[in-house]
Every structure is written in C-alpha cells, then in structure tokens.
C-alpha cells in the first residue's frame, strides 16, 4: 500500500492509529508519503526533545515514512543526513524507515514510478529576511510583520539549484519522460494560476515545474503547499489534511 498526505508541519497526530486506522494492515514495505513541509527536521542546530519524540514515534509506526521537502524545513540539518540510493533514486536517511526523497529523482515503489521535486517559494516573507542577530526581530514579531530569520526559520535552499533542476530533467529523460506519479510541494505555474485565480505569482521553481509538466506524461500530479484539498484538474491534485491511498 502507498498512501499520501499534504503538509504536516511536524503535527504528526494525523498519522495516529485513531486518525489513520488503515495502518493496522500495513508493514514496513508500505509507505506514507508527505508532500513537503514535513517539519520533522526543524529545530535549530540539533533535535530537541519534542522533535526526537516524534521522529521516534514515526519510526515505531508499522509503515515507512517518506517525504519531499517543502519551504519550511531546516535545510542546514536536512542536507547533513547521509545520502543513499534507494529504490532507484537518492534519499536522505533520517531513520531506518524515514526517508527524504531528494529533488529530481525517479523512484520505483510497488511497481509504480514517482518523480519527486520538493521546495517552494515562501509566501510569508513579504517584509523580508532578517539575520539571526538583527535587533529588529523582537519588535517585528510584536507588530506582526511577515518575515523569517535566515538559517533559523528560512533557508535559501527552499528554491532549487541549477544542478538539482538539471538532475530532474536528466532522470526524466532516462525514463522516457513518462512516470506514473509526480510528487511536488508547490506546482507548475499554470496549475498554480488556475487554482489561485492568479493570486500566486510564478517563480523559478514553478516555471521549472511548468516545463516538466509540458514534457512529461504522468497519470497524477500530487502536491501540497497551498493548504487546501482541491482537484485542480482530473490529474493535478492539491492535498492538505486528507490521507489518500494511491496503490
């Protein structure tokens, strides 16, 4: 079985046995995939007690947890985990059964192919990015400004490098530009424009994903980021709190 859900932001109660009883029939050969903003690797510099508790809690689940990255991840720590090849693509191994599916990879899971590409442009930084020691932080928090702090609550790596984008194109070409599922955090520019009626503007990543959309044959494209559950088209689906079985 393969199940998928939207952003968790480290609130993993969604995957409790009470809320997700289907896991009683699952094993470590079955998967739950989080479509970015996993949030399980977030604490500054090292895991605190709460973060460790939830990572261990997930590791103890009967299924294997997979996630792509969103714009709200601690990239300094996430990218420090060991990289290994797993089911055809590259992952960061967080725990023996918790894996970060890296950008631009094609994985084969239970006979189906999945193209993964995490990341997104943050929408909650309209007032700017401050450095950790900036004296304005306290006042900006008090007055409700929309900002984040570099290497504490925001990372430049939320948007992909040229190398990651080229890796994705190369891997798609190697499988004939055809996969069963595309899994991303944000989505292609045209899909984003339709679902938001033009509210969200295109950026480097959404334009890249637009190119992927034009060149790739896929059955379903599943994404998170926008905190809604919405079938934008018959093939392009935004997910948030729902947990849906794919296979």
Looking at the predicted structure, is the pLDDT value of residue 212 above 90? yes
* pLDDT at residue 199, rounded to an integer: 83
Find residue 64's DSSP bridge partners: 31
Reduced to 3 states, what is the DSSP secondary structure of residue 36? coil
| Position 6 pLDDT exceeds 90 | yes
What are the tens digits of pLDDT across the range 89-116? Answer: 999 999 999 999 999 999 999 999 999 9
Angle at which helix 189-196 crosses helix 204-215, to 10 degrees, equals: 110
Q: What is the DSSP string of 112-138?
A: EEEEEE-----SS-TTEEE-TT-TTHH
Of 186, 178, 176, residue with least CA distance to 207? 186
Residue 21 structure tokens: 């009883």
Query: Residue range 67-71: average pLDDT?
Result: 98
pLDDT for residue 197:
86
What value does the mean pLDDT take over residues 44-56? 96
Give bridge partners of residue 182 from the DSSP assignment: 115, 221
d(CA 226, CA 192): 9
pTM for the whole thing?
0.97
């Amino acid at each position: 079985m393969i199940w998928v859900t939207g952003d968790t932001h480290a609130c993993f109660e969604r995957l409790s046995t009470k809320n997700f009883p289907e896991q009683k029939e699952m094993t470590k050969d079955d998967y739950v995939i989080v479509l970015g903003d996993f949030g399980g690797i977030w604490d500054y510099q090292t895991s605190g007690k709460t973060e460790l508790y939830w990572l261990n809690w997930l590791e103890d689940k009967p299924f294997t947890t997979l996630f792509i990255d969103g714009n709200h991840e601690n990239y300094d720590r996430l990218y420090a985990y060991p990289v290994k090849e797993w089911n055809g693509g590259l992952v960061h191994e967080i725990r023996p059964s918790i894996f970060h599916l890296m950008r631009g990879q094609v994985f084969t899971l239970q006979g189906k192919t999945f193209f993964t590409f995490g990341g997104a442009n943050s929408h909650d930084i309209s007032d700017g990015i401050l450095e950790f020691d900036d004296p304005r932080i306290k006042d900006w928090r008090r007055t409700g400004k929309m900002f984040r702090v570099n290497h504490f609550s925001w990372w430049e790596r939320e948007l992909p490098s040229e190398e990651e984008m080229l890796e994705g194109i190369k891997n798609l070409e190697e499988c004939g530009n055809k996969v069963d599922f595309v899994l991303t955090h944000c989505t292609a520019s045209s899909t984003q424009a339709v679902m938001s009626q033009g509210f969200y503007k295109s950026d480097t990543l959404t334009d890249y994903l637009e190119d992927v959309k034009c060149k790739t044959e896929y059955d379903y494209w599943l994404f998170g980021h926008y905190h809604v559950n919405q079938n934008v088209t018959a093939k392009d689906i935004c997910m948030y709190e729902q947990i849906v079985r794919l296979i």
